[in-house]
Structure 1
Amino acid sequence: MRKPTLYPAMMSSLALALTLASGPARADAGASGAGPIRIGVNEPLTGPFAASGTYVVNGAKIAADEINAQGGVLGRKIELVIEDNKSNPTEAAAVAEKLITSDKTPVMMGAWGSSLTLAVMPKLADYETPMLVETSSSGKITTTGNPYVFRISPPSALEAEAFAPMVGKIGLKKVDFIVINNDWGRGAAADFTKMLKDKGVAVGLVETMDQGAQDMSAQLSKLKGSDADTIMITAAVDQLTLLFKQMSALGLKKRIITTGGSQNPDQIIAQAGGAADGTLHLTTFLPWYPDRTPNPKATTYFIEEWKKRGFQFAGVTESFRGYDGIRTIAQAIAKAGSTEAAQIKAAFWAVDFTGLNGQIRFAKSGPAGRESGQSKPDVYLIRIESGRVVMPEL
């Protein structure tokens, strides 16, 4: 496979941790003659979330190629073992078991959606295997007491906390919700409701829609008749596109804010056209403004590499999670000095580097003695104006 062009600046603390890791803690850890270190990747490559899962996987491949071009980890290449969970929780759990028992991967990344990740979590505990969670935002993922979970995406409560200082600046008075009817959507509605009420903002309707629903006219008619000034939405990009078009057709003209960080503004612009104009979106990456990101050189490198591979720019708002996820796993393996699952799990607590959307280091979350790891990425508010992504002045 073609090696990516590397900028000197990319030989950062992360790269040094991978190439200059201290002596191996296990006999197999640094053996140059050993095979590649296998990392499981459990993502939706078919089904409703296929586009998002594919973006994440392609970002992960960029990270793996970069790491291998710099010498790998512990003197060995890394190999991604990629499996399709078909956007289905039952399938996600089965994929996790296969990756652990058949493919012998000591660590995984996954599983995009909150319902998918929650379905995988019992397998992590059963087989004592850690997983880096790159996208899912349900609060339950890091509060139920699973010490094998390490998440770099913000839970909805953390996203709501980051949004709280903006509430007064944009003048929210009363908010309705329409969310996907799963752990992700319901959790977001609950967490944002709590924050909004604490800020003195009234909360009205909470409408739900099934994951594959195409016609939301009944819910939107209720929202149109409400006296709320703002509608907050939690859904994947395809449903967001449908919602914006159906809102436009109904003449529903209220402030719109999407949550979850998984939406793709450029894809929304392409698919929804003018129906998306004026909508606001909470996101966790700013590829439109690399200089405003925590690590501009790394952001520029990633975007240029993404484009070199022929991928559309729109994909970077999700693919970066796969990129940072694999880099996080690689640093944990390097710090462990081992490819044993237990050693990698322990080493996640020592990870510390600047990812594309902030510092990646894990704080404890959940019941004492069974804590999960939660990193705290940056959260931004962007707006779509005349087919462009802009940052509103607050």
Structure 2
Amino acid sequence: MKPDKIAPSINSPSSSDTSTQEPTGHHQGHQVKRSLGQKFTRWMSSLKMNFKAGMALLHRSIRQVPGITPPLMSGRYWEQVPLPNNPEQLRELAIDSAIAQIPYKLNHDPIRCWEIVREAENILMDSSDTNRSEALHHKIEPRFFEEILSCAKEDHCPEQKKSSLTPEQQDMANSECFRNITLLPSGMIIDHTTGLIAVMAINQVTHKITLVFGGTNSANGASELLDENGLKIGKKPGRLRARLKADWQNLAGYKIPDCYLQASRLVELIKSMTHSKATLKAMGLDNSLGMLFLVGHSLGGGLVQYSAAKNRVPGRTFNPVALGRKAIKNLTIDDRELAKNGLIDNYLIHHDLINTPFGYKRWHKRLAPTILGRRTIIHAHKATGKNTLYGRHSRSHVHYMAELRRKINASK
């Protein structure tokens, strides 16, 4: 029977520091020398063990403090919810995901752009019955932008052309933040100095008006300057640089990017226009319109979160960037609570490099920046096309459509 080991006294040298101990046996009285490499290896091993022990102690200490860690499905500014079971609600989600892709393809690949929207509109139909495909319900509506920019480009709206806007709306439109916006032939607007990209779509059946904000790499081809006949006359650079700058400013949290402030002002004005039957009638639109909805992907999702919370307009985002600390601080407590309680819905892909990287559950609960509002996390499947981490972000619509189809088929 082996005797119990006696714990070393406080004054005894550490067992890990063997390079300075007096060894026993026939080497007693002589110091054992180790090479620099051996000493470094031992030091790294002890450092790793001490780090693991320290992190375990910190984790236990935090868990013992009541209320410091929220439930798994909730945070300060967000709440996690599952996908709905209603097929019509799933169809609406598929359509909004497709519409969020419009800024990426409308300029350089409009045919594919509308194929994606049509596919989402017909998601409830049997995929094998291609002959029954319904007509496309959505179309681009640029008249809101035309009215705004006709005032923004002048010191006042030109008298020879009667404006459809009310005097209050004209004052809002005649703002410095709209002066550098360009309306492209496709119906999309872009500000090369701030990176704001947006387009409006109307559902001709439900009369739902959707304002779509573009992501970081959206509006490909928007730098081409065209004359009135559609011929290329040059380029206007800065689109991507401005949007990357906005991403960094938002993430760093030291200021609210200019495109976020622009988006909020734009939503405020368009909300006023859609709520005015006189304005809609003067624009030649059905005055039954009025249900404004915001949609965006990636950076566009960040613009939706901020402008929707600011203006109390419902929004839906797909793989959005987190809202920065400065932007969240600029919102009132009521803004944040409304966003969390259903004003904003966010859809994420599990293990997306931008939104939900490996291990994110350990630190995201109370972190600012964060994704504001309700969130639903969809698990990507390897069988669904681009299944890399970056593919899950840039091609998120493919994963959403695959998961929504599975959900719809399971409900039949």
Q: TM-score, normalised by structure 2?
A: 0.27
The structure with the greater share of residues assigned to strand is 1
Bigger Cα Rg: 2
Q: Which structure is higher in RCO with an 8 Å CA cutoff and minimum separation 6? A: 1
